[in-house]
Structure 1
Amino acid sequence: MADGGQDNELAALEKVLLDKSADPVDLPFSLLKAITGNFSEDNKIGRGGFGAVYKGVLPSGHTIAVKKLFEQFEILDKNFACEIACLVGVKHKNTVRFLGYCSETQHVMRLYEGRSVWADVRQRLLCFEYLPKGCLADYLSDASCRLQWTTCYQIIKGICEGIHYLHQQRIIHMDLNPQNVLLDNNMVPRIADFGLSRRLSGSQSRAITDHKLGTMDIWHQNS
C-alpha cells in the first residue's frame, strides 16, 4: 500500500471514518483491492442481488465495509448513480454511514472464445462503516438468540426514526427488510442498502416502479 498518492487516499478515508461530519470521498480501485485482500473470500461478509460486501482493514486497524457491485449487472450504472445520489448528504444515527465510492473503468486482457482480447471492465464500489453485529434478520431467525423487549423496542423505534428522516429528505428506500437493517455494537439499527432507493423531486409525492428487484442482502461477521 505504498505510494504517496495512496497514503493521501488512506488519510482521507480515515478522516471520513472518524469524523461523522465529513463528506464521502472518491477512492481508487487499487486501494480498495488492497484493504480487502484482493476481495478475498475470507473477507466476504455478505452478498446480495447487486453485489458482494467485503471487510476492508486499514493499516490503522480500523475496519470498513466495501460493497463491490457485480460487473455483469445490466443496470449497474443506473443503480450506482441512484444509490450515491440518495446516500450523499444522508447523516442520521439510524442510517448506515456512507464513507466513499469508486468508479473506474479498466482496459484489461481477457480470454474470449479461446483468444485474448482487450476488454473494458467497470469497477463500481461503495464504502460504509463496518457494523459487527450483522443484520436484523440474523436475530429474527435464530431462536437461540432472542432479543429482550427493551432491545426490540429500541430497534423498532430506531428504524421508524430512520425512515422518518429519509422521508423528510424525500428519499423512498423501496427495499426495507430485516436483511437491510444492520446493528452496531449497542444494537442500534442502521438502515442500509440504498440500491433501489429514489429521491423524489419537489413535485413528486410518491415513487412508482414497474419492476420488483429487491433481493436478500445478508451481512454477517466473520470470526
Structure 2
Amino acid sequence: MRVQSEAVSVTDEGSQIAGDLVIPPGAGEIVLFAHGSGSSRHSPRNRSVASALQDAGLGTLLMDLLTEHEDAMDAMTGEHRFDIGLLSGRVTAAIDWLGAHPATADLPVGLFGASTGAAAALSAAAERPERVVTVVSRGGRPDLAGDALRLVRSPVLLIVGGDDPEVLQLNREAADLLAVPHRIHIVPGATHLFEEPGALDEVAEEARDWFVSAVEGPGTPS
C-alpha cells in the first residue's frame, strides 16, 4: 500500500480552510497540527515534526487556521492570530471533518499545537473529548486557552525550550490548571523557535513517542 496524500478543504461557518492530509499504510492515529501566530500549514518546523510522525506510521493533517483573506488581514493588523475562539473553532471543525472523512473516521485524533495554536488545540480538545486522545504543545501558549484548560480530558505534553523562560513559566502556570495527566518536557538550550542544532529533532522524538504511546494501550504516555 502507498502513502495516501491529498490536499483537503474544511468548511467552518462558510469559510474554506486548506489542509494537507498524509496517511501512511496501517496508520493507527491521525495528528492534527494547529500552527502558531503568523504561520501556516507550510511551517517548516511543523512539517519537520509531521515527517517524523509519518515515518513512525502516524497520519498527519496540517491545516491553515485562517482563510487567505483573513491571513492577509492578519499580516497587516495581527487581528486574528490571538483570536483563540476563532482558531479553536477551526481546529474543532477539522476534528469533525476527520470524523466524517472515510479514511480517518475510525482513527483516534491527536493534536499538535505550536505557539497560539497550542491554546487552540487545547480548547478544541475540551470541545471534543470523545475524539481527542492526547495533545502536544511545542513552544506553546496554553495559558491563552483560559478556562478550557480545566475541561481537557486527554493527557497533555508541553514541550518548551530551556532558554525560553517567559513561555516556560506560562506553561508551568497552565499545567497547574490541568486536571489530566500531563508532563512538561524542557529542551535544554532551546529558544522559542527551537532553531538550535538538534532542538527540533528532540521535539519530534518526544512528540512521536507521546502520540504512539497514546494509542498503544491504557495509561499515561511517558
TM-score (structure 2 length as normaliser): 0.29
Higher-Rg structure is 1
TM-score (structure 1 length as normaliser): 0.29
Give the structure with the larger helix fraction: 2
Instruction: Flag the structure with more relative contact order, 1 or 2, with Cα contacts below 8 A and sequence separation at least 6.
Output: 1
